[in-house]
Amino acid sequence: QQSTFLKQDSLYKFIQPFAVVQSWATYTMGEKARLSPDESLEPVVNRLNITARRARLGFKGTPYKNFSYYLSLFYDNLGRDRYSGTRAGINDGQIGVWDAFMSWKMSSKHDLATLTFGYFRPQLSRECITAYTAVNSFEKSLSQTYIRQHMMGKNHGRTMGINIGGLKKEGFVSMNYNVGLFNNNTTSSQTETAGVLYSPLLTGRLAFSFGDPEMDKYGISYDINYFNKRKGVTIGVNASRQGHTDIYNLNMTKGVDVLVNYLNFNMDGEWMALDRSTEVKQVHARTGHIRGGYNLIINKKLFIEPTFLMTFYDGQEGGQFNGQDRIYDAGVNWYMNKKNCKLGLHYVWQEGHGKNGYTDGVTFEKGDYVGLGFLIML
C-alpha cells in the first residue's frame, strides 16, 4: 500500500547540480591600516589581488509536482587579501551552506500562494534579494550589508524561516507579495540563540509592476537587466519588524525600491530606513543606492553595457555603524552568453567617515580599486 497523496513526477529531474564562480582580479590603491597599536593609519602598498569573490556549488530539483528544493554551498573569497579595497571576508579553503530551502506551490491553477521554508533570504529590500549574478555593478550595493546586519545580524542575509508569497497579473498591472516569519538567532550575548527573551522576525514586501511584469512566474530571486525585452516599471514597499529581545526593544526596517527597464535602459534604486529602540535610546540610519546601465549592441553580436552606481549609508551616533559611507562604481560589462558568462571592467571609489564599513577612523580605511571580473554560471 502506497499513499497516493504525493506522486513523484518523472518529468522533473530529482537532482540537478549547478555551479557559479565570480573571479576577480583587483588592483587596490590607497588602502590604509593601523600597523601597530598606538599608531595612526598608514597606507599599505598598492596591490594586485586575485580572488574567487563568490564560488557556489549546489543542487536543485523538483522531485514532486509543484514541490522544488534548492541547496547551495559556498567557498567565497578564496585568496582575498585583507588589504585589498574590496569589502568581504577572507577564506583559506572553508566551505559552508549558503542557501537551503524548499518551495511548495500550493495550486497548479494560479500563482497566488507559494510556501517557501528553510534557510533563505527574508523577502525584503530589492538589493538584498537580487541575485549577485544579475547586478550590473562590480559588487552589490553596500546598502545590502547594512540592511542585513540591522535586520538579522549577519552579512550573508540567510536565516531559517517560512514565507508565503504570490504573483497576480491583471492587464497593465501586476502584483507581487511576500510575508515571512523567521528565526533570528543573533539577538543574544550568546551565539545561535534568540536569547532569554524571544521575538520572531516578521517581514513583508509588496510590489506593483506597470507595463511588462518583472517575472512570469513567482520566485524569490530578482533580476535587473532584461536584455531589451522588458518595457516596465516596478515599485516595491518593504518592512520588517522584530519585538523585544535581549539586545533591543524594537527593531525595524522600512523602505521603497524601484526597477525601471525600457528596452536598452536599466535602472534600479532603493531607499531604506533602519530604526532600533533599546531601553536607553533610539537610533536611526538610512541606506540605499541608485544604479543605471545601457545595453549597447555592437554589430548584432557584442552585448556591452556601461553602468554607474552610487550607494550610501548614513547612521546616527550610538548605532552599531555610524557616520557616512559612500561607494561609486563606473564600469562596463560584456555579456558573452547573457548572464551565464560575462566579463566586467570597473573603477570603484569610496569615501566616508565615522565607524562603518569604509573606516572606523582608527584601524582601517578602504582604498579605491580597478577590478576585472569574470563570472561563469553552469
Which of 38, 170, 280, 300 binds a second copy (CB under 8 A)? It is 300
Choices 16-24, 141-149, 284-292, 357-365; region in contact with a second copy by CB under 8 A = 16-24
- DSSP-based three-state secondary structure for 143: helix
The reply on whether position 363 binds a second copy by CB under 8 A is no
Q: What are phi and psi of 328, to 5 degrees?
A: -120, 140
Q: Which is nearer to a second copy, 78 or 272 (CB)?
A: 78
Residues between 313 and 342 with contacts to a second copy, criterion CB under 8 A: 335-338, 340-341
Sign for the CA dihedral angle at 10, 70, 97, 91 comes to positive
Q: Which is nearer to a second copy, 94 or 282 (CB)?
A: 94
The three cell numbers locating residue 29: 590603491
Instruction: State the minimum distance, in angstroms, from the CB of residue 373 to a second copy.
Output: 12
CA distance 364 to 367: 10
- DSSP-based three-state secondary structure for 148: helix
The answer to whether 28 touches 82, Cβ cutoff 8 Å, is no
Binding letters toward a second copy, positions 100-129, x by CB under 8 A: x-x--------------xxx----------
Q: Taking the CA of residue 341 as centre, how many other CA atoms within 13 Å lie in the half-sphere pointing to its CB?
A: 4
The reply on whether position 248 binds a second copy by CB under 8 A is no
CA distance 150 to 283: 11
Instruction: State the minimum distance, in angstroms, from the CB of residue 284 to a second copy.
Output: 28
Q: Long-range contacts made by residues 43-48, C-beta under 8 angstroms, separation at least 24?
A: 44/83, 46/367, 47/81, 47/83, 47/84
Q: Which is nearer to a second copy, 94 or 278 (CB)?
A: 94
Q: Which is nearer to a second copy, 96 or 318 (CB)?
A: 96
The reply on whether position 73 binds a second copy by CB under 8 A is yes
Binding letters toward a second copy, positions 178-217, x by CB under 8 A: ----xx-x----xxxxxxxxx-x-----------------
Residues between 74 and 93 with contacts to a second copy, criterion CB under 8 A: 75, 78-83, 90-93
Which of 47, 231, 326, 353 binds a second copy (CB under 8 A)? It is 47
The answer to whether 151 touches 124, Cβ cutoff 8 Å, is yes
Q: Which is nearer to a second copy, 57 or 235 (CB)?
A: 57
Residues between 249 and 288 with contacts to a second copy, criterion CB under 8 A: none
The three cell numbers locating residue 19: 555551479
Instruction: State the minimum distance, in angstroms, from the CB of residue 2 to a second copy.
Output: 6
Residue 186 Cα distances to 19, 120, 194, 353, angstroms:
30, 16, 6, 27
Instruction: State the minimum distance, in angstroms, from the CB of residue 178 to a second copy.
Output: 17
